Amino acid sequence: MSEQRGAGRARGAVQRNRPAPAGTRTPRSSKTRAAILAAARRLFASRGFDHVSLREIGAEARADPALVARYFGGKEGLFAEALAASNVSDALIPGDCAAFPHRAARAAVLGEWRSTGFEGLLIALRSASSPAVSDSLIRPFEQRFVRRLAEGLGGDEHMARAHLAFASIAGTALLHGMRSPGSPGYSPEQARTIAEYFAHDLNEMMKRGGQGRRGARRRPPFMGDASQ
């Protein structure tokens, strides 16, 4: 009887220590995958696609760089998931867009990208000049961003206003919120003042035409329009 128990324990130990079948996701592999993705998001947001290597991502995640190919299929696959994990959500752009200008100002001026939900946009902006991902991944991301914003805006010419809002956020980010921490600039008080002005102007830009045809402002003629 005791021999049978001992044999049973031995078989149980072998089964517990046996490697998982190929393709099986274990708790340990799930943690490693999540660590690689989190490290990639941080590094891509900091330096962009072209200036981050798989070796650096592996070192940041404390994982073998070869695991990137196993879990993500390579660097472009990892970048795609980093963008998807930071994508625009319903929480980012509420239906009435009331909080959106303030979040955008905190990100684009003060550099608070992750806490405001704009980290995906930062990753896209950092990597916009990369031939490897600009057309296949970043442009579709920007289109989804603008389309989701337009849905929240509603009203007259909502797509045009969404494109203009996106361009304003991206341009302001390039001037203010994407600076390196040690670069010369303005004081925290000045930065907050700029953020307040930007939030106000962005809000005004976004809400124009939102009252429908009857209450909307008339669009000014384009410069050089022959009909003027």
* Nearest-angstrom CA–CA distance, 220 and 178: 33
Please say if the pLDDT value at position 49 is more than 90.
yes
The residue written with tokens 């490697």 in the block is 19
Task: Evaluate whether 43 touches 56 at the Cβ level (below 8 Å).
Answer: yes
Model-level pTM? 0.77
Q: Which helix (H) or strand (E) holds 100?
A: helix 100-108
Averaged pLDDT, 184-210: 84
Which pLDDT score, from 0 to 100, does residue 90 have? 53
Please say if the pLDDT value at position 131 is more than 90.
yes
Please say if the pLDDT value at position 20 is more than 60.
no
Please say if the pLDDT value at position 199 is more than 50.
yes
Per-residue pLDDT tens over the stretch 62-120 = 999 999 889 999 999 999 999 988 766 555 565 556 788 999 999 999 999 988 889 99
**% of the chain exceeding 90 in pLDDT:** 49
- Neighbour-count burial for 59-81, b at 16+ CB within 10 Å, e otherwise: ebbebebebbeebbeebeebbbb
Per-residue pLDDT tens over the stretch 160-189 = 999 999 999 999 999 888 876 556 677 888
Measured in whole angstroms, the distance separating CA 160 from the mean position of its chain's CA atoms is 22
Which pLDDT score, from 0 to 100, does residue 17 have? 42
Burial class (CB in 10 A: 0-12, 13-18, 19+), 125: buried
Please say if the pLDDT value at position 193 is more than 80.
yes
Q: Which domains does the chain have, with CATH numbers?
A: 27-85 (1.10.10.60), 100-207 (no CATH)
Closest by alpha carbon to 191, among 201, 179, 205, 203? 179
